[in-house]
Amino acid sequence: MSDSTTEQTTDTSAAPAALITPEQLAETLNDRQLPGATLTIEDYESALADYALVADTDDSGDAHPLWLLILALRGMGISVDELCDLAAKRPQDTLLFGTCELNQHRPLRPGRTFTVSAQVRPVSRKVSRTGGVLDFVTVQTTVHDDSDNDAVGDIVTGYIFKRGA
């Protein structure tokens, strides 16, 4: 009688994935319009954030300024994992949150709906002093208040892909 079970093995000797070229990265990402999103800061979310941030309470009714960053990240229309896929992040690569510039034009109000648009700026590659490869991906995001269509803020987030060997 023969044994009908089969043994499954995973080939771990496979060569690592090839590094994307700067030209391929630019072709995929430069000036790429991301889907964006329409989001509402719910009253309870604002209250929970204030509590978690140990924010001073005031009578303004405004959401904490950190909500501008939250709207930018949620409002890209893709997840950070999907951005990594677009940038051809490999298992041996490391994603670093490089920079974040917030320009808030006016306070955010809980209960309001905001439309977020996002676009990738031109990407760049640098080689470190130790010979490591760093790819810089910057996303420009703008948040508009749907009640009057005015921009309430601009956010620039920089992601650094530290490419492994």
Question: How confident is the prediction for the chain on average, in pLDDT?
Answer: 90
Two structure tokens written together for 68: 């501008």
From 3-7, 48-52, 65-69, 109-113, the region with the lowest mean pLDDT = 3-7
Long-range CB contacts (within 8 A, 24+) of 23-31: 24/88, 25/87, 25/88, 25/123, 25/125, 25/135, 26/122, 26/123, 28/86, 28/87, 28/88, 29/86, 29/87, 29/120, 29/123, 29/137, 30/120, 30/121, 30/122, 30/123, 31/119, 31/120, 31/121, 31/122
From 45-49, 112-116, 131-135, 136-140, the region with the lowest mean pLDDT = 45-49
What are the pLDDT digits (tens) for 16-28? 789 999 999 999 9
Mean pLDDT, residues 156-163: 97
pLDDT tops 60 at residue 50: yes
What pLDDT score does 68 carry? 95
pTM for this model (two decimals):
0.83
pLDDT tops 90 at residue 108: yes
Number of other CB atoms surrounding residue 142 within 10 Å: 18
Residue with the two structure tokens 């306070």: 107
Q: Write down all domains in the chain, each with its CATH number in brackets.
A: 22-163 (3.10.129.10)
Residue 12: pLDDT band (50, 70, 90) is: low
What pLDDT score does 87 carry? 97
Q: Is the dihedral of CA 89, 90, 96, 97 positive or negative?
A: positive
d(CA 108, CA 82): 27
Residue with the two structure tokens 């892909």: 161
